Amino acid sequence: MTDHYAVIGNPIEQSKSPLIHTAFAQVTGQDLDYTKVLSPLGEFAQTVDAFRAAGGLGMNVTAPFKLDAFAYATDLAPSAQMAGAVNAMKFEGDKVYAENFDGLGLVRDVVHNLQCPLQGRRVLILGAGGATRGALLPILAQGPAEVVIVNRTVAKAEELAQLACKHQSGAVPVHGVGYADLRARSFDVVFNATSASLTAQLPPLGASAFAPGCLAYELAYGKGLTPFLKLAQEAGVTRLADGVGMLAEQAAEAFEWWRGVRPDTAAVIRQLTVPLV
Ligand code: ATR
């Protein structure tokens, strides 16, 4: 019997999740289909209820419903609690298990695919919104030397740093600062987790933030050489990446959670890669 999964959002046409999960199902021999569900705004719960009633076993959640999914879940994993948002759900009877695999996907891409260990590294994260919240705990779990969160609105960065310190009992120093506070400090890995790239804007970051041999990682995907990546390139950074690997790896995490089999992501990453030019 074919099992049913889907991604829910509004709009949903742009989603790559069906392509990714269908490819995973083929290579792992899993009998499932994976569709797109367009939910009317304000009708998330009814739309998911209908999907479950028709036998659906799991869903990915994309904008603008990640907070609705958080409220809909009966069992929130720590990753979803820390992120304050849900990107994957599993349905078992009355239970709605909820996860957020974005951070794990990011770390897997950086450490495994890009072969850039985070242990002992100085990490800078630009932005203190949902993307940073999702990424923080998995990054901290790698044991970096330090994590600095920099944000236009400094209070948000400070708040998030405090929350992160509480979660991991201060094992890794985490600081929340403003851009001016960075001065000439440099970092081994710089993540752009702001939404600035979506509007082709550049966070006010100085070129000195990139240490020699640094990895500059844009969490957005498919935008080519964003202003952030261009800044890094002009600063002499040769290790540039966007979020295509993160996208594939968070999907692989969800697939394994649902099906108990881990798919290889290399082919999907190749297929979805947009050149950084
Ligand atoms: P997301 O869920 O994508 O993280 P969000 O929660 O709205 O979206 O957060 C967006 C983040 O990008 C915020 O940290 C925002 O900074 P502020 O908190 O100061 O608003 C940051 N951001 C957006 N546009 C930016 C820009 N042009 N320069 C610097 N930071 C920007």
Residues with CB under 6 Å of ligand 1 are 127-131, 151-153, 156, 194-196, 201, 203
Give residue 269's pLDDT. 98
Alpha carbons 69 and 77: distance in angstroms, whole number: 12
pLDDT reading at 198 higher than 90: no
pLDDT digits (tens, 9 = 90+) for 30-40: 999 999 999 99
User: Is 277 domain-assigned?
Assistant: no
Alpha carbons 32 and 43: distance in angstroms, whole number: 26
User: Is 229 domain-assigned?
Assistant: yes
Same domain, 229 and 175: yes
Same domain, 143 and 78: no
User: Is 199 domain-assigned?
Assistant: yes
Alpha carbons 13 and 208: distance in angstroms, whole number: 40
Record the pTM: 0.95
- Minimal-distance CA residue to ligand 1 atom 8: 129
User: Is 40 domain-assigned?
Assistant: yes
- DSSP strand E in 178-269: where? 187-192, 210-218, 239-241
* Residues, the chain: 277
> Which residue type occupies 171?
A
Give residue 255's pLDDT. 98
Alpha carbons 43 and 41: distance in angstroms, whole number: 5
pLDDT digits (tens, 9 = 90+) for 102-113: 999 999 999 999
Looking at the chain, the whole-number percentage of residues with pLDDT higher than 90 is 94
User: Is 25 domain-assigned?
Assistant: yes
- Catalytic residue annotation: 66
Q: Which residues constitute the domain of residue 211?
A: 103-242
pLDDT digits (tens, 9 = 90+) for 256-273: 999 999 999 999 999 999
The C-alpha R_g of the chain, in whole angstroms, comes to: 19
Q: How far is the CA of 177 from the centre of ligand 1 (A)?
A: 14
- DSSP strand E in the chain: where? 3-9, 32-38, 58-61, 75-76, 88-92, 95-99, 122-126, 146-150, 174-177, 187-192, 210-218, 239-241
Q: How far is the CA of 128 from the centre of ligand 1 (A)?
A: 7
- DSSP strand E in 93-186: where? 95-99, 122-126, 146-150, 174-177
Give residue 57's pLDDT. 98
pLDDT reading at 50 higher than 90: yes
Give residue 103's pLDDT. 96
Same domain, 109 and 237: yes
- Minimal-distance CA residue to ligand 1 atom 28: 203
Give residue 166's pLDDT. 85
Q: How far is the CA of 86 from the centre of ligand 1 (A)?
A: 19
Total structural domains in the chain?
A: 2
The helix (H) or strand (E) run that includes residue 232 is helix 227-234
Give residue 15's pLDDT. 96
Alpha carbons 194 and 183: distance in angstroms, whole number: 19
pLDDT reading at 170 higher than 80: no
Mean pLDDT of the chain: 96
Q: How far is the CA of 175 from the centre of ligand 1 (A)?
A: 17
Q: What is the residue whose two structure tokens read 């970096």? A: 144
Same domain, 227 and 255: no
Alpha carbons 248 and 252: distance in angstroms, whole number: 6
- Indicate the top mutation candidate among 62, 102, 152 to test ligand 1's pocket, ranked by most ligand atoms within 8 A of CB: 152
3-state class (DSSP) for residue 200:
coil
